[in-house]
Chain A
Amino acid sequence: MNNFLGRKIYNSLIFSILLVLFSLLVARPGYGADEEGENKTAFIMHHIQDAHEWHFATIGHTHISIPLPVIIFESGYGLRFYMSSDFVDEHHEGIEKDGYYINEHGHLMSKDESLSFYDISITKNVATLFISVTLLFLIFLTMGKRYKQNPLGTPKGVQSVFEPIIIFIRDEIARPNIGEGKYEKFMPYLLSVFFFIWFNNLLGLLPGAANLTGNISVTLTLALFTFVITTFAGTKDYWKHIFNTPGVPWWLKFPVPLMPLVEFIGILTKPFSLMVRLFANITAGHIIIMSLIALVFIFESVYVGPISILFGLFMNMVELLVAFIQAFVFTLLSAIYFGLAVEEHHHEEHKEKLENSPA
């Protein structure tokens, strides 16, 4: 199963990279480095990245977009509140406001470069975050209420949709990987992270929606949550296994702490892989679909349309699957890491028994 998933992830990554390269190659030599040629695929990168406004479409010179709040925490001043529309003029060209401006990459910059500030704007991704969390609350709080009112009743409506998934996470992910009796305290996190990723993966597939789970900041935060929980859940055994791995020759540990170093790097690579896996898979999926659409603009032919639509549709279907698989993989791997952290080892006991035995 893992092998299959791994290969699938790997394949989709390679495929997406090839496609991006292909689209860039097609776009660049044909049109040189001129403005038009870049614009043809620029929307892909524009889509998969965060932005201060929620841009839907540009028809002619009219930009259809929702302005979003821009919040700046400036040291020595405090919070500054603006709207993203404050930073553009009527022609949608960037303008300056109170010494701040949004550059061509969509970053909020200060004219005074010595000024220290934090951009905590409600960007497109943050807005999506609010929407998806509202959806999560709406669904699961309703569900929770129903279970509270009638705990032994048969599941109805939304309950019958999500109950099998909740049971699946409990019985197929948490129980076997963390262990009976220890999995309960990790269930809230596993369920939350699973539904958060799954819902956002699906929401990201909607036209005009943000690419939240394909954003490195989001996956970094989620991976950090898993890392922090793993670290705090770690038993004495877990740390002993890292810094003084039993069953390893002493010379791998003593003058040069090779094994402890490798094990320690292992602690960090686990969340790092979680972060990259989710980010790369979702972003790759978006890039593929976008690239297929971009073919129409690159070839400037209406006859490419059916191909784009067919392949785009196929990719969208695949992405529906990937949305679930990635949420599942993130949850499964988190559960495996928690399981490793709380695992009880019996090496010592075995050894003692062997030494104590008369033979």
Chain B
Amino acid sequence: MDLITPAFGLIFWQTLIFLVVLFILGKFAWKPILGALKAREASIDEALSLAEKAKEEMKQLKGDNEKLLAEAKQDRDKMLKDAAKLAEEMRDQAKNDAKLIGDKMVDEARISIENEKNNALGQIKDQVAELSLQITEKLLKKNLSEDKAQQGLIKDYMKDIKLN
């Protein structure tokens, strides 16, 4: 029976000391400990979510980069194509121009040749006319004397013409 009879003194001390324990530990131990645990958990959570966010951003950045790269590639292809086209055009143009100039030059040459020819022909005509006049004059002069002499004379003149 003694075993289950509460003793006043022990209840008194237990109550007193346990109240002190509750107060002191509550104020100086549990409060900072629980606070620190909470703060630490919050900081870990924050760090984790930050890491997740950074990962997400990285992913997006990578996507953006790829997009940018693809665009750049497209641009480059287009530029190359344009350049090739331009070069082709320029080459054609140059070809055409060259052909035109060549044609023009040939035409000019032909015209000047024609002119020269006409000129030369005119001169030849003049000369031929003059020679003919001279021959005719001489013929007319010699014709009246002898046949033989006439022919020889013509032959001589002809020789002269050739030499000329």
Contact = CB atoms under 8 A, between A and B. Distances in A.
Interface in B1-41: 2-15, 17-18, 20-22, 24-26, 28-37, 39-40
Given A147-B35, A187-B34, A188-B30, 15 more contacts: A119-B9, A123-B10, A133-B20, A136-B21, A140-B33, A141-B29, A144-B31, A147-B37, A148-B32, A151-B35, A151-B40, A167-B37, A170-B37, A192-B30, A217-B14
A226 B24 CA distance: 18
A215 B8 contact: no
B43 interface: yes
A152 B39 contact: yes
A221 B22 contact: no
23 contacts: A49-B2, A118-B9, A123-B7, A126-B10, A129-B13, A137-B21, A137-B25, A141-B28, A141-B29, A144-B25, A144-B28, A144-B29, A145-B32, A147-B35, A151-B40, A163-B33, A167-B37, A170-B34, A184-B34, A188-B30, A192-B30, A217-B10, A222-B14
Interface of B: 2-15, 17-18, 20-22, 24-26, 28-37, 39-40, 43
Contacts of A148: 32, 36
A166 B4 CA distance: 32
Contacts of A125: 10
Contact of B17 (A49, A71, A133): A133
Between A118, A123, A143, A184, the greatest number of chain B beta carbons within 10 A of the residue's beta carbon is seen for A143
A130 interface: yes
B15 to A, nearest CB: 5
A230 to B, nearest CB: 15
A358 B99 CA distance: 97
Closest 9 CB pairs between A and B?
A188-B26, A151-B36, A147-B36, A144-B29, A140-B29, A217-B10, A221-B14, A148-B32, A217-B6
Nearest to A287: B3
A279 B4 CA distance: 9
B8 A119 contact: yes
Nearest to A280: B4
Interface string A263-300: 00000000000000001000100000000000000000
Nearest to B22: A192
A152 B40 contact: yes
Nearest to B34: A187
A216 interface: yes
Contact of B14 (A45, A122, A167, A218): A218
B5 to A, nearest CB: 7
A50 interface: yes
B79 to A, nearest CB: 55
A216 B33 contact: no
Contacts of B22: 188-189, 192
Nearest to A129: B17
Nearest to B33: A147
Q: Which of the listed residues B21, B33, B39 has the most CB atoms from chain A within 10 Å of its own CB?
A: B33
A85 B21 CA distance: 30
Most chain A CB within 10 A, of B3, B6, B7, B17, is at: B7
Contacts of A144: 25, 28-33
Give the one of A48, A50, A120, A283 with max B CB within 10 A.
A120
A283 B4 CA distance: 11
A163 B37 contact: yes
A61 interface: no
Interface in A156-194: 163, 166-167, 170, 184, 187-189, 191-192
A123 B37 contact: no
Nearest to A276: B4
Nearest to A167: B37
Interface in A108-139: 118-123, 125-126, 129-130, 133, 136-137
Given A196-B18, A217-B6, A136 B13 contact: no
A118 to B, nearest CB: 6
A351 interface: no
A137 B24 contact: yes
A220 interface: yes
B25 A45 contact: no
Contacts of A353: none
B8 A120 contact: yes
Contact of B12 (A50, A120, A145, A187): A120
B88 to A, nearest CB: 69
A225 interface: yes
A91 interface: no
A119 B34 CA distance: 39
Contacts of B3: 45, 48-49, 216, 283
A139 B39 CA distance: 21
Interface in A25-74: 45, 48-50, 71
